[in-house]
Every structure is written in structure tokens, then in C-alpha cells.
Structure 1
Amino acid sequence: MNSLERLLSILRGYPSILLAYSGGIDSTLLLELLKVQAGIRFQAVFVEHPALTDNERDIARAEIDAVQGQVISVSLDEMQAVWGENREKRCYYCKKFLFSQLLNLAEKMELAVVIDGSHVEDDPGRRPGMRVLDELGIKSPLREAGWNKRLIRKQAKVMGIKSWERPARACLATGIEGPVTRRKLEQINRVEEFFQQQAVAPVRVRLEEGHFSIGTLACHGGEIEELFATPAFQQLLDSLGMTLAEVYPLSGGAIR
């Protein structure tokens, strides 16, 4: 049994499925596989929350509308209560809250399991929110089938999924020290979107005490720094009332 056959066997083994759809390539691959598998009853659900970038929200909305999926909208007030001020455990509490919403919906829709797009390279030690999946009984077929990011992108390319090489984006709230506010989320979103519009390597922005730091892969550091002297970047800083503290290398070779 090859890797694709194993993954499909796992998907067919679920009586019915609620797919936690994020708009990223991992859950998009699962969505496309489910669409072409006869006899699998499933529903894709996108949780719209304030820590998504505008681009992520637009992409996921378009995909979920195309398959007549559902959208759960979570307000900033709800998320602020979940996030609190503890950045270290913010991801854990957030994921627990969001997946609890999906489990409740799955029960109402009489769907047997909730699945997500986690894979074997999603390390629980580096991403505390991963523990929630085991605690709540969320299934991760890609991880169970032994798929990594390279294999996911390869299969997505074979299937003609346009987003097969789109970089992963981290939650905006992970870059904020202290309380998460709408203003801080908007500041990070605008800086990250600026670099995306310039068609350069993706970045991660950290915000603290009125200034921000920009993280990028070491091989793209010079490319990013060239944009700092441009009028467009200076105008962005002025409009946000922010200053740039530093550029730092991302560890682990990934944006997430």
C-alpha cells in the first residue's frame, strides 16, 4: 500500500467527517481528496476569527463557498477571553476553544469525527496547541498516514491544486506580547501583507512596546532589508505609528 492509498484508506474508515478547514494547503488537500471519494459523507467548516490575515480569510471563504461548506464566526471579544495575557499557553487555549466549537457542531450535524490537516512535522513540543488534538479526540489523517509537508505539496501539485506551493502563515496573535487587541492584530496584518504584496519571501512579525521585529529565513534577509529604505515601507511605518527594532532569522527553516 503506497502513501496515497494509506491516506485514502484512513479517510474511508471514518463513518462521517467534519473537516476543520483552514484554507492552508494541508486541509485543502484533504478537502480535494474528500470531494472525489464516492460514498464519504463530509462537511467542511471554516472557523473565521480575528487572528487571520485578510488574505487567508479571503482564500478560505472562496474555497468553503465553492463546496457549500459552513463558516463559524468567532468575535474578537470571545477570542480575547480565550487568549488572555499568557502568550506561552495562548495557542493551547485558542485551539481548545475552536475545536470544541467544531465538536459541538459535528454532534449537531451527526458527523462521527472531526479531522484536521496536521502532519508528521507538526511537533507538539514546538506547537503547544497540538496537545489539544489528542485531548479532544480530533483525528489527523495526514499525520496517521505518515505524510510530511513535502509529500503534501507534491500530491497537491499532482492534483492541480493552485495553492500547492503557497507558504504557511502563522496566526497573527502568536506575534503579540501581552494582551491581544484589534489594533495590534491590524498592525501585524498590514506589515505581513505589505511584504506579501511585494512578492518577496514570507515574514513573521513580532510586536512589542510600540515597535516590531521582522523574522525571515536567513537566505532572504538581504532581500527583505532592501525594502526598508523604500518610500512605501516608510509610509507604512508612519501610518502605523511604529518603528522597526530588528530583523531576526527564523529557526527551523519554516515560517510557522
Structure 2
Amino acid sequence: MNKLEALKDYIRGLGSLAVAYSSGVDSTFLLKVAHDVLGDRCIAVTGVSPSFPKREREESEAFCRAEGIRQIFVEPNELADENYASNPANRCYYCKHRIFSKMLEIAQQEGIPHVAEGSNMDDLGDYRPGFDAIRELQILSPLREMELSKAEIREYSRALGLPTADKPSFACLASRIPYGERITAEKLAMVEAAEEVLAGYGIPQYRVRAHGNLARIEVPEEYLGFVMEDTRRKEILERFRTIGFFYVTVDMKGFRSGSMNEVLS
């Protein structure tokens, strides 16, 4: 039995499921498989937050409409939690605990005993304090349960015809702000607007790290010359300054996931 069939059997045994859905590669795959197996006994639950870009929410809505999946939105209001807003190194724990607690409440209201999230085996290699909240709240992680890697999830997603098969990885916008620097809705909005600028140039993977009024752009190494082309460089600078960044830099190491965690090692 391959891992996809094993995943289906695992989900079938649950009877019903609420999937924490972000429109990313992993949660889209999990939601698709769960809905195929469980039908209306599967629902999508999506967080609405300043740290979750409008683009991602719209993509989640479009997918659920196309697949006929009932989607429920939840507002964790994590900025009201000082433990989160003060941005400690374990910020992700407080965010995950807050949002999954609310998702559990929704699942209970719907008569669904289980909530599942979409982390995979590759996620175990990074600093992920949110996993502590997932474990404490007994949130299911079916993709890790089946020992699925990101590459395998992309492969299965292609076979299922999912639009996210080759979608770049994404992390919440709060991950763009250095630990210890307070998270505000204004800062998150600035980051979102700046990343939309880069997306408009067709750059496949990017991050805008916000260090106060300085923006540090991360793009793949092969795109460093692209963003530094004179006309484009000036356009980016002007648009970032309009957003509110006074200084704009390009990280010479290029894009890498979790670069803010480098200071922890």
C-alpha cells in the first residue's frame, strides 16, 4: 500500500475531520484527500488574521468553492495576546495554541471530534515551537503520521491535479519580524504590501524581513541580479518607501526559509 492509500485509510477511520486550511501545499493536499474520503463530514477551517495575507485567503476560498468544501473562518485575534505580540522566540507556540483552541471549539460545535493540520516530515528539521501547542491540544498531523515528505506531497498533488503542486512554501507574515521586536497590524500590513510588490514581478519565492524601517529582501540567488537591475531596483525602492520603509536592502545570501531563526543558533 502506498502512502496516499494509507493516508486515505487513516482518514477514513476518523469518520469526520476539520482541517486547518491555509491554502498552502500541505493543507490543500490534506483537505483534498480528506474531503474525497469523507465528503460532507470534512470541513475546512481557515484563520483570518493580519498575519495571513489576503491573497492566501482568497486562494483558500476559491479552492473550497471549486471543490464544494464547506469552509468556516475563525479570527484568533492573536495580537491581543501579549505573549504573541511581544514576539518572543517561541511566538509560534502562542499563535498555534490560540488558533487551534478556537478551531477545536468550532469542530465541537459541528460535532466533529478531530482537528488536523498539515505539517510534514521536512518540518521536523526546523525550529517549530508551534509543535508543542499541536501536541498539547492533541491536534492530528496525518501527513507526518504517514511520514510524508514535501517532495512526496508535491508528487501526489500533481497526480491529483491540485493547483498548489508547485506553489512555493509560505510562512505567516509574523515570521518576517525579528524576535523581540513588537508585532503590530501596521508592520504586518507593510510586509504584506511589500511582498505583493515582489510577487508582481513574477519572482517565485521571496520574503521581506522588516527590521524597523529597514526592509531586507530575500529572493533566490538567481534573482539577485533581476531585482538589482537599475530600473527595477529604483522601482522597488520607490514603492517600498511609499509603503513606509525608509531603507531597502537585498540579502546577499538570497532566500531561505526561517532566516530569522539563524540568530537562535
- Same-fold call, TM cutoff 0.5: yes
Query: Which stretches in structure 2 are left out of the alignment for 5+ residues?
Result: 260-265
Once the two structures are superposed, residues 192-212 of structure 1 have per-residue CA deviations (whole angstroms, 9 ceiling, x without a partner) of 111111111311111112111
- Report the CA distance shift for 1:134/1:162 in structure 2 as closer, same or farther (over 3 A): same
SS of equivalent residue, structure 1 residue 96: helix
Scaled by the length of structure 1, the TM-score of the pair is: 0.89
Question: Does 2:193 correspond to 1:190?
Answer: yes
In terms of mean alpha carbon deviation, does 233-242 or 86-95 score higher? 233-242
Aligned to 2:47, the other structure's residue is in SS state strand
Alpha-carbon separation, structure 2, partners of 1:129 and 1:156: 25
Contact 2:217 2:251 in 1 (8 A): yes
Residues in 2 aligned to 1:102 and 1:228: alpha-carbon distance in whole angstroms: 46
Q: RMSD of aligned C-alpha atoms?
A: 2.3
Q: 1:249 aligns with which of 225, 249, 253?
A: 253
- Count residues with an aligned counterpart: 254
Distance (whole Å) between structure 2 residues aligned to residue 38 and residue 102 of structure 1? 19
Q: CA separation in 2, counterparts of 1:10 and 1:199?
A: 38
Tell me the distance in 2 between the aligned counterparts of 1:96 and 1:166.
Answer: 27
Partners in 2 of 1:60 and 1:227 — Cα distance? 36
Instruction: Determine the structure 1 residue equivalent to 2:217.
Output: 214
Q: One-letter code of the match for 1:69? A: Q
Contact 2:76–2:102 (CA<8 Å) still a contact in 1? no
Residue 13 of structure 2 corresponds to 13
Q: CA 1:244–1:234 in 2, change beyond 3 Å: closer, same or farther?
A: closer
Please state if 1:97 is matched with 2:98. yes
Q: Which piece of structure 1 moves more, 229-238 or 151-160? A: 229-238
Q: Is the 8 A contact 1:206 1:212 kept in 2?
A: yes
Task: Spell out the pairing of 1:22-37 with structure 2 (5 A cutoff).
Answer: 22-37=22-37
Contact 1:87 1:174 in 2 (8 A): no
Deviations 1:15-57 (A, max 9, x none): 3211111111111111211222257722211111110122112
Instruction: Give the structure 2 partner of residue 169 of structure 1.
Output: 170
Greater mean alpha carbon deviation, residues 61-70 or residues 7-16 = 61-70
Q: When the two structures are superposed, what TM-score results if normalisation uses the length of structure 2? A: 0.86
C-alpha distance in structure 2 between counterparts of 1:169 and 1:51, whole Å: 12
User: Taking structure 1 as reference, are residues 227 and 27 closer, same or farther at Cα in structure 2, changes over 3 Å only?
Assistant: farther
Q: CA separation in 1, counterparts of 2:125 and 2:93?
A: 10
Q: Find the residue that maps to 2:148 and give its secondary structure.
A: coil
